[in-house]
Structure 1
């Protein structure tokens, strides 16, 4: 009996000691993470990084306000978000905590998960799991598809991507998203990315900044209503966008470095030859999922690129999550100010 009491006492003592260490560890963690920082510190005083934080904040406002429809999407762009580097936020266990001024959503405080800030905030302020690391893009290629969703061809393309264990990025037209929301959801469900390609494909350079912003926001609204998430990227129709428009929409612009010219050829063999002739590591390939010839060419393109040792990835993977508003991206290491 004495030995049992001794063992029990030792067990309890060790347990209490362990809990003590755990408690002190948790306290230390809390002290390390509940840290007040300025946006200047978080962004290394880079205004484009701050714009990326605002972009992530809008998504979080909608999530915390539990906005399900599209009626309040326009209002999220009216929420006052930080524009000055001296403003402060708090690093917490759950994410970056920001206080908000009075707004239509009646949300006083948001906490943006660190996963949404990867590549946008200076690495040292992020948990290790959410920090970016250097990636070798010499054997990476991003396939992108414009102008969908198409009710027949996009599902066929999604089956091909799934078959070959490949993910791609789709830049969709808002009016088609509104017509076929189920397909847009299927794009994301397959592990692919979904971007904004305007509402009805006008040339932004010919319609002016106000109408360009309306085109982008209207499509963002349609994509949010269909999927419950705002798209990160915009691809302007014909690749045309001014610097003023780029600043106004506050989303990274994704262009391309390889044009398959599938829209001109409407010939699967020519599509395949064009892509294989021009594609190298780090490239963003432009195709369309509204032409049957283009969709028919994809299996061969995938197999031939893989045979050359290329890994086919999303735009975010190719850019290592570093895409920022105000910049346009042509490839893994080719980016410029939007409109230049």
Structure 2
């Protein structure tokens, strides 16, 4: 695996000054690589969270590049991918990270992950300058992320989507596979409306009580349902009840999204109480947990959005909230609050 020498950058000569700049950039890149055979240990800084993220990006890229059946999507979690940071089975160039796969049931030999998806995952010195991770600048802007569990619901989810669109608010919907398979058109609406879908299991068991094998089956079957409905694999997992352990969490190679504001909408089933609780407990950087399967919960959303905006909050995606790539085998509760499994 030789790091690309980026010869093309040095041969494009629009002007003498431009050519000189590009040659300098190419030489610097070559010097950084030092013509070495790179390893995962080098490009990730010996970071297992980054390696797990690359494994999942490999699965997602295969799902994007190939039209897979439901069974093939379920197999992705069993796809033989490197678990050692010294593995030498990838190629890195100026455009992509190419994974060279071992023999597998999908008969796929390579997966080319664009470098644009790897900012903050591959160390900056191995990335083009325009794709290097930059620490966010300090801001006084207060931010919050909305998340909704247990859908999709054929009536309430579309109603909620209209509210979010009207107020220009993004959200992440953690859906259960048994409902996605019934209402795939609603899941498509979620994506088409500019929101994200996360995996919330097939039928909402507590993972830590059913064991690793059954938990993996819950995740993989829901992956297949969401893929069939939307053409994409969910990037995040939220375990039912927030119950997770290291063994189960490591098996799906994705960030685990928890929360730090539980609306208790499922307990109150009362719109004014839900509104009051969320407004009382939300703070800068919060991940708010709600549900799009209760009429009282959906009815509470317009007021929650209105008041929080009036208080100076901006509603953002999970990535924007965290201000960095979300990595596998971490639990994310809110901004600056992420923990090992």
Per the TM superposition, whether the score is higher than 0.5 is yes
In structure 2, the residue matched to 1:100 is 101
In structure 1, the residue matched to 2:8 is none
Give a deviation string over 1:103-152, Cα, whole Å, max 9, x none: 22222222101232233222333334433333358611111000000001
Greater mean alpha carbon deviation, residues 44-53 or residues 104-113:
104-113
Give a deviation string over 1:265-304, Cα, whole Å, max 9, x none: 1111111111110111111000001111111111111111
Structure-1-length-normalised TM-score:
0.87
Asked if the contact 1:213–1:249 (Cα under 8 Å) also holds between the matched residues in 2, the reply is yes
Stretches of structure 1 that go unaligned for 5 or more consecutive residues are 1-15
CA change 1:178–1:91 in 2 (3 A) is same
Secondary structure in structure 1 of the residue aligned to 2:135: coil
Give a deviation string over 1:214-262, Cα, whole Å, max 9, x none: 1111111111111111111111111111221112222211110001100
In structure 2, the residue matched to 1:323 is 326
Report the number of matched residues: 322
Q: State how far apart, in whole Å, the 1-side matches of 2:102 and 2:15 are.
A: 41
The answer as to 2:143 corresponding to 1:140 is yes
The answer as to 2:252 corresponding to 1:249 is yes
Asked if the contact 2:53–2:327 (Cα under 8 Å) also holds between the matched residues in 1, the reply is yes
Asked if the contact 2:94–2:127 (Cα under 8 Å) also holds between the matched residues in 1, the reply is no
Asked if the contact 1:119–1:320 (Cα under 8 Å) also holds between the matched residues in 2, the reply is no
Secondary structure in structure 2 of the residue aligned to 1:273: helix
Asked if the contact 2:63–2:233 (Cα under 8 Å) also holds between the matched residues in 1, the reply is no
Matches within 5 A, 1:159-174: 159-174=162-177
Q: State how far apart, in whole Å, the 2-side matches of 1:270 and 1:121 are.
A: 45
Secondary structure in structure 1 of the residue aligned to 2:78: coil
In structure 2, the residue matched to 1:119 is 120
CA change 1:287–1:103 in 2 (3 A) is same
Secondary structure in structure 2 of the residue aligned to 1:216: helix
In structure 2, the residue matched to 1:293 is 296
**Deviation for aligned residue 1:102:** 1.8
Give a deviation string over 1:69-108, Cα, whole Å, max 9, x none: 3231122223222222222332223211221112222222
CA change 1:300–1:184 in 2 (3 A) is same
**Deviation for aligned residue 1:37:** 2.6
In structure 2, the residue matched to 1:80 is 80
In structure 1, the residue matched to 2:111 is 110
Q: State how far apart, in whole Å, the 1-side matches of 2:189 and 2:132 are.
A: 29
Greater mean alpha carbon deviation, residues 138-147 or residues 316-325:
316-325
Greater mean alpha carbon deviation, residues 277-286 or residues 128-137:
128-137
Tell which structure's C-alpha radius of gyration is larger: 1
Asked if the contact 2:77–2:252 (Cα under 8 Å) also holds between the matched residues in 1, the reply is no
In structure 2, the residue matched to 1:9 is none
Asked if the contact 1:68–1:228 (Cα under 8 Å) also holds between the matched residues in 2, the reply is no
Stretches of structure 2 that go unaligned for 5 or more consecutive residues are 1-11
In structure 2, the residue matched to 1:69 is 69
Structure-2-length-normalised TM-score:
0.87
